[in-house]
């Protein structure tokens, strides 16, 4: 296990006392807390280096540009991209997916072309494709779930066929914790010459993701779910795929030469970064990556496996608790419900224990429809969580049951 007490010293937020209790933060799948190394990197940038990038020949602007481009290199190395030219900074994973859906889809989709997704996508990897399908006449197809919350791959050979023009799917589900066999699906897509994008928002923060080993054509993630600030995300694309796409947005920074009736665009990745970018966000993300690397991705994964296994074991012992998603081999989160208690009430009562836990549809309403529930409670873990946190969670759930038993 990681030395959680020592790690927590790096996170100022854990000095907070909530409702008279130490904060126990179990909502890292929504966003993670930030270590002082990230907060200070951002603050120091504004204190000592702030200037716009790619524009000035003066010292501050050169420093700022070097820091921003160094962050791109650090992000590239983190997912083992062969070049930083493959890394486009966006606002978040959502913007990265919208970028590809628009830039690729509007250029290449024709009526009746098929876009293959899965039933477990976050709305971020569903709505952009619905919008593009509407604009282009392409159709959406889905790989559905089996009863354990895993992808039902029995009919995947029918789902990927000569009409398929794009595949996009999540690597680890934010609602069910399911780990999808993305390598297998990438290989299959490539046998049909179909480009494939991986939503790695819930995997990159927790496990080693190697884009060269996966051989995906695009991959996206968000900085704020991996100790970094909000407002910075990453689109990875193979260089030839990025080259084949027209710009998504136009403006300053993304051009070489501009006339009143035409313009010549910069090369990748800058042709996709119109306007002043989130410079401090990229610098904060680089600090977050350094922090994660200092702990080690393997150690993080192992720590979270232990936490998740313990949480499932303890939840399983409580009568009336239903756990959703696969019980084995899953990402670091557990969604569940307590019989006859609304998930929002669970979250409100747990707040009295200092436990921050999410209740809702987790931006995956089709999964809620499949589960036939309006919402679930979700505990999600990261490097600052310990087995003691789960003990408090379990005590809180038992108390919640007692409260509701006494009023019903």
Ligand X SMILES: Cc1ncc(COP(=O)(O)O)c(C=O)c1O
The 214-233 contact track toward ligand X, x by CB under 6 A, reads --------x-----------
From the list 45-53, 64-72, 197-205, 386-394, the region that binds ligand X by CB under 6 A is: 197-205
Using the minimum distance from each CB to ligand X, give the nearer residue, 32 or 136.
32
Q: What are phi and psi for residue 223, nearest 5 degrees?
A: -65, -35
174 contributes a contact to ligand X by CB under 6 A:
yes
| Pairwise CA distance, residues 13 & 49, whole Å | 26
- Minimum gap (Å) between residue 256 Cβ and ligand X: 30
Using the minimum distance from each CB to ligand X, give the nearer residue, 170 or 394.
170
Using the minimum distance from each CB to ligand X, give the nearer residue, 335 or 349.
335
Choose, by CB under 6 A, the member of 87, 93, 346, 375 that binds ligand X: 93
- Minimum gap (Å) between residue 171 Cβ and ligand X: 8
- Minimum gap (Å) between residue 117 Cβ and ligand X: 12
278 contributes a contact to ligand X by CB under 6 A:
no
Choice among 127, 249, 318, 363 that is catalytic: 363
170 contributes a contact to ligand X by CB under 6 A:
yes
- Minimum gap (Å) between residue 201 Cβ and ligand X: 4
Using the minimum distance from each CB to ligand X, give the nearer residue, 151 or 392.
151
Report in angstroms the alpha-carbon separations of 95 from 47, 196, 199, 245, 273: 29, 17, 12, 15, 11
The 73-92 contact track toward ligand X, x by CB under 6 A, reads -------------------x
401 contributes a contact to ligand X by CB under 6 A:
no
32 contributes a contact to ligand X by CB under 6 A:
no
Q: How many CB atoms lie within 10 A of CB 368?
A: 17
94 contributes a contact to ligand X by CB under 6 A:
yes
Using the minimum distance from each CB to ligand X, give the nearer residue, 49 or 92.
92
Contact 49, 263 (CB under 8 A): no
The answer to whether 363 is a known catalytic residue is yes
Q: How many CB atoms lie within 10 A of CB 2?
A: 19
The 328-367 contact track toward ligand X, x by CB under 6 A, reads -----------------------------------x----
199 contributes a contact to ligand X by CB under 6 A:
yes
Choose, by CB under 6 A, the member of 86, 118, 201, 380 that binds ligand X: 201
394-404 as b/e: b if 16+ CB within 10 A: bebbeebbeeb
Residues of span 362-391 touching ligand X by CB under 6 A: 363
207 contributes a contact to ligand X by CB under 6 A:
no
273 contributes a contact to ligand X by CB under 6 A:
no
- Minimum gap (Å) between residue 343 Cβ and ligand X: 17
Spacing of C-alpha 197 from chain mean position: 13
Using the minimum distance from each CB to ligand X, give the nearer residue, 64 or 124.
124
Residue partners of 397: CB distance under 8 A and separation at least 6: 315, 318, 321, 338, 346, 350
Using the minimum distance from each CB to ligand X, give the nearer residue, 103 or 338.
103
- Catalytic residue IDs: 363
Positions touching ligand X (CB under 6 A) are 92-94, 122, 124-125, 170, 174, 199, 201-202, 222, 363
């Amino acid at each position: 296990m990681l030395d959680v007490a020592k790690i927590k010293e790096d996170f100022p937020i854990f000095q907070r006392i909530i409702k008279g209790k130490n904060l126990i933060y179990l909502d890292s799948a929504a966003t993670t807390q930030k270590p002082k190394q990230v907060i200070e990197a951002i603050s120091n940038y504004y204190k000592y280096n702030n200037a716009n990038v790619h524009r000035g020949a003066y010292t501050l602007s050169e420093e700022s540009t070097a820091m921003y481009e160094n962050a791109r290199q650090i992000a590239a190395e983190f997912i083992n991209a062969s070049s930083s030219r493959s890394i486009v900074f966006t606002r978040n994973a959502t913007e990265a997916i919208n970028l590809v859906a628009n830039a690729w889809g509007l250029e290449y989709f024709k009526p009746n072309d098929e876009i293959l997704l899965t039933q477990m996508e976050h709305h971020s990897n569903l709505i952009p494709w619905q919008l593009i399908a509407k604009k282009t006449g392409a159709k959406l197809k889905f790989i559905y779930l089996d009863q354990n919350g895993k992808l039902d791959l029995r009919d995947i050979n029918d789902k990927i066929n000569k009409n398929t023009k794009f595949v996009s799917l999540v690597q680890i589900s934010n609602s069910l914790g399911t780990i999808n066999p993305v390598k297998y699906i990438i290989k299959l897509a490539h046998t049909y010459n179909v480009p494939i994008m991986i939503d790695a928002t819930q995997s990159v923060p927790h496990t080693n993701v190697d884009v060269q080993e996966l051989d995906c054509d695009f991959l996206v993630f968000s900085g704020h779910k991996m100790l970094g600030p909000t407002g910075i995300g990453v689109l990875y694309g193979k260089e030839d795929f990025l080259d084949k796409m027209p710009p998504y947005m136009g403006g300053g920074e993304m051009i070489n030469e501009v006339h009143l009736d035409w313009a010549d665009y910069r090369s990748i990745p800058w042709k996709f970064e119109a306007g002043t970018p989130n410079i401090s966000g990229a610098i904060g993300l680089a600090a977050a990556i350094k922090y994660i690397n200092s702990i080690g991705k393997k150690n993080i994964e192992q720590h979270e496996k232990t936490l998740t296994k313990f949480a499932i074991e303890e939840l399983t012992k409580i009568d009336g608790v239903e756990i959703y998603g696969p019980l084995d081999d899953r990402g670091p989160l557990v969604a569940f419900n307590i019989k006859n208690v609304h998930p929002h009430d669970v979250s409100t009562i747990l707040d009295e224990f200092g436990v921050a836990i999410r209740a809702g549809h987790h931006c995956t309403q089709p999964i809620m429809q499949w589960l036939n529930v309006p919402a679930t409670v979700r505990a999600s873990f990261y490097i600052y969580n310990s087995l003691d946190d789960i003990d408090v969670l379990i005590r809180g759930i038992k108390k919640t049951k007692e409260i509701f038993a006494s009023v019903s």
